Amino acid sequence: MLKQMDINCDMGESFGNWHMGDDEGMMPHITTANVACGFHASDPVTMINTVKLAKQHGIAVGSHPGLPDLLGFGRRAMNITAEDAYAYVVYQVGALQASLAVEGMKLHHIKPHGAFYSVLKANEELAEAVAEGILKLSDAPMLYWPAPTTAALPTACKKRGIRVVGEIYPDLQYAADGSLVIQRHKHETDVAFAASQVECYVKTGKVQAMDGSLVTLDAESLCIHGDGPNCVEVAVAIQNRLKSLGCKIAPVMA
């Protein structure tokens, strides 16, 4: 039985007048925010306002760097070099760190977005470069990564002594091998299933796959997507379930 779980959400992904996600609705129900840094989404005003909102709610803030692809929301693959990957992380995290500094806050973690995550899952050369960047960006660096944390980037981070925090996704489905089944179009989450999935993980360290089998994962945080049509309802139900289990809800500490 786990004694504590973190709840995180991707935020600050609007751009100018274009709105993405219910940041205001979700912020009271999470403990950690992954804030976009301007490459796949966000802009300077959006980033600063998201940091201010997080501060108002006492939320820990991490960086959510992506590929430089606003039009494709960072979900299209790009052929980049290790030098590119390193620079992309340093540039984006640095922008968020400045936004945090003016509010008297510090960076909590780094969590790659979309296609950037996908390439760092398998490409060891790029993963080594990004891990080196993460190491140099914080005195207490942490990587958030979908469990299992055995892919190229978390492996490179662990090798450098960087804290790796695994995540589960109660608003997505799992395949029998533990991989996530990514939605192509957002739809309402089965709230009862999401809450029961969290309870199953807290009690057993396992999630239920689509075929009914149980998959063991290594996670300390759960991620709820803030752009789902009933995301706030999902977040409230999960919070209530964790409280009923006597599981503390708090950010992961480095």
Q: What is the CATH number of the domain that holds 66?
A: 3.20.20.370
Residues 6+ apart with CB under 8 A from 227: 13, 20, 21, 22, 186
Nearest 10 degrees: Cα torsion 153, 158, 164, 169: 50
Reduced to 3 states (helix: H, G, I; strand: E, B; else coil), residue 144 is strand
**What's the predicted TM-score (pTM) here?**
0.96
Q: What are the tokens at 60?
A: 């820990």
Contact 189, 195 (CB under 8 A): no
Q: Which amino acid, residue 54?
A: A
| Distance, CA of 201 to CA of 208 (rounded, Å) | 9
- Is 254 part of a structural domain of the chain? no
What is the extent of the structural domain holding 214? 4-249
Contact 117, 77 (CB under 8 A): no
Number of domain units in the chain = 1
pLDDT in tens, the chain (254 residues): 999 999 999 999 999 999 999 999 999 999 999 999 999 999 999 999 999 999 999 999 999 999 999 999 999 999 999 999 999 999 999 999 999 999 999 999 999 999 999 999 999 999 999 999 999 999 999 999 999 999 999 999 999 999 999 999 999 999 999 999 877 777 899 999 999 999 999 999 999 999 999 999 999 999 999 999 999 999 999 999 999 999 999 999 98
